[in-house]
Structure 1
Amino acid sequence: MDFEAAKDICRSLPGCTEDTKWDNDTVFSVGARMFAVTSKDLPAQGFSFKVDDERFLELTDRPGIIPAPYLARAKWVHVTPEARLDDDELAALLRRSYELVFARLTRKLQREITG
């Protein structure tokens, strides 16, 4: 699983912004709402993102995927290098996280992002 490639997937999503928060984290947002977080370290050693409520327990039962610190109550997971996720599955999870956050934006903001 290539966390650096995962950053590129986040960057490719419509309206995605990237900034640094908490001194050491790279945060990917849409409409000023976070959908993924990773460390600024190179190479990245993990990724946190939102998942569907019904997938949270399933994913956190897998080795290398834990409830995200501080964000687990909002159904965020943290994927470590030990996780058995291939690049396609990680990409799909990141896209889904984006979709979950995007869906909570106002219709007006959604239209501005999608043009």
Structure 2
Amino acid sequence: MNIERLRELCLGFPAVTEDIKWGHDLCFSVGAKMFAVTGVDGPFTVSFKVTPEQFEELTAREGIVPAPYMARNFWVLAEDPNQLSAAEWEHYVRQSYELVKSKLTKKLQKELNLL
């Protein structure tokens, strides 16, 4: 995984926006709610939302830690992108999108043509 592949993957989902927050973080959102974050400076790392069970499983792996400020919401930070296979990256990023999308109001999902 690299930043170009992450952008391609995230922007391939319906109603996704990208913007820079906090001066240097590239954030991918659906309905103004983030589902993946990467830095534009420094080494390539990615934060994303997972289920509570996956949070425990993934943070037990070397190179994946609880995401700063977001761990209480079951976000992980992949400090070493090589810890996940290409298939795992696609699974976890899509799942993060779906988890966040599912928390949007039905009204907003309808406005975004997600229903």
TM over 0.5: yes
Unaligned 5+ runs, structure 2: none
Match of 2:86 in 1: 87
The residue type paired with residue 104 of structure 1 is K
Match of 1:67 in 2: 66
Aligned pairs, number:
114
Q: C-alpha offsets along residues 3-48 of structure 1, whole Å, 9 cap, x if unaligned? A: 4312210111101000000001001100010111001138x61100
| Aligned residue runs from structure 1 range 35-46, under 5 A | 35-41=35-41, 45-46=44-45
Aligned Cα RMSD in Å?
Answer: 1.6
Unaligned 5+ runs, structure 1: none
| TM-score, scaled relative to structure 1 | 0.91
Identity of aligned residues (%): 48
- Comparing 63-72 with 76-85, which one deviates more in the overlay? 76-85
How far off its partner does 1:105 sit?
0.3
Residue 7 (structure 2) pairs with residue 4 (structure 1): no
Measure the CA separation in 1 of the matches of 2:3 and 2:10.
Answer: 11
Match of 1:21 in 2: 21
Residue 24 (structure 2) pairs with residue 32 (structure 1): no
| TM-score, scaled relative to structure 2 | 0.91
Match of 2:57 in 1: 58
